[in-house]
Structure 1
Amino acid sequence: MREPRPLRVVHTSDVHLGAYAGNDTPIWVERRQRMEAAFCRVIDLANRVGAQVLLLAGDIFDNDRVSAETVEWAARQIARFEGQAFLIPGNHDPMDPGGIYWRHDMEAIARRLTIVREHRGELVEPEGLDLVVWGRAYLDSDWHFRPLEGLPDRLDRRWHLALAHGHFVPEGGENHRSLPIHEREIAGARGRWDYIALGHWEPHADVSCGGVTAVYSGAPMALSEANRRAGLCTVVDFDGGGVRWWVERVDR
């Protein structure tokens, strides 16, 4: 196979749309509006920089009880993106039967959106791109869920992007956290996966190790003012020079 064509990706997570929906005091109404505006700016940015792919790495919705209007609004925003979008569920919006992604057909509104639904892991090979995408659908009923468990081998020379929603655990770190993503799992993907798009942490963080690029995008806007390291998303370029990324601020 020839060298894969260059690719530009925008990576976001932990949007938490629908948060504070039960509180209509002005301060929380304004905060919800700011969260929605930050997500709109992610889509605007992705189009402005000419990204071909948008990665949504979990917790796009704050909970499974958000309104149909919120879900449809999110789908319409994703539909504005001119490339192909890929979404995995997180611990706030799991893929359990009857959950939010089964009750609402977002893909009917956002035709270029693919939602990863398989709990055991799912490979997606989108048409028109030199790209392979993999992710696991989180189930709230799986207390021992490991987001990178079963990460497959490389198929060929196309760009290989994995999505995972969980908590990074460095070697020797605490092992009692749920949704663990161990450092050794990331390092073990060397030579097989080009980029691991992470979600679950609101702050942006680079946890690359063992020669594998693994990044928490950062939330477009934090749930609380206490978190000053959110308000970001990540842009990633793939070409003959390798993988390069940078962050862009989307919460003003």
Structure 2
Amino acid sequence: MNLHHQSEATPALLRQDAEGIATLTLNRPQSRNPLSEAMLAALAESFTAIAADRSVRAVVLAAAGPVFSAGHDLKEMTAHRADPDRGRAYFAEILGRCSAVMQQITALPQPVIAAVEGTATAAGCQLVASCDLAVAGTEARFCTPGVHIGLFCSTPMVALSRNLAAKHAMEMLLLGEMVPATEAARMGLVNGVVPAGEALTEALRLGAIIASKSRATVRIGKRAFYEQREMGLKAAYDHAAAVMVENMLARDAEEGIGAFMEKRPPVWERS
């Protein structure tokens, strides 16, 4: 009992800030870092705080223990089958909260980099796919196994289908098989594979590169990327051109172009 209380008292999500990078660590290794009510609440709260924190220029999302995330907490969800509506209202609420967290990542001004060791399955795989960048250790594995238990991974499908080629996404969703790290990189689910245990180091390296760029420019570019992706070709070009006009008139673009022409390092706006 004491161990249980100790575990519950430990934060579900840890945050550590250094050199403009906020590292968030899923911290429920004993239960495979599920996207439980508590974990989703902690992620939502942290992303809200980070969005308003101008000192943070990049975010790294990591996990404690041998599993990155096993996805939704099926014990929590199954307990609500005893509800009068057989859990309908609860399922809608928890899936809505999870979807909102995934959209928070996309809407966050700062790029988010997943550092994956171990397995990322179902909504845990969705979490990786929702990040802007992802790196994996050689032992990492990815899976959307819902098809095995009669529950198609429909919400993870949204992130997968926007990151992978259609047939790669359907392969993961229809077969439900474990995808090794090197195959995940080939599919485009992760950017690269590093030796086991070094995913966090690599993610921090990428974060440091991003943190060295103009904060305002990165913010503009990330937002525009996701906005144009949902548009038709002409609308996307029109939108991107309008964004670029505003970007050209921004202080950091003037400084950056001037520095390039004068062959000197740019000095970005720090506020």
Q: Whose relative contact order is higher, 1 or 2, with alpha carbons under 8 Å and at least 6 apart?
A: 1
More strand by share: 1
TM-score normalized with structure 2 length: 0.31
More helix by share: 2
Q: Which has the larger radius of gyration?
A: 2
TM-score normalized with structure 1 length: 0.33
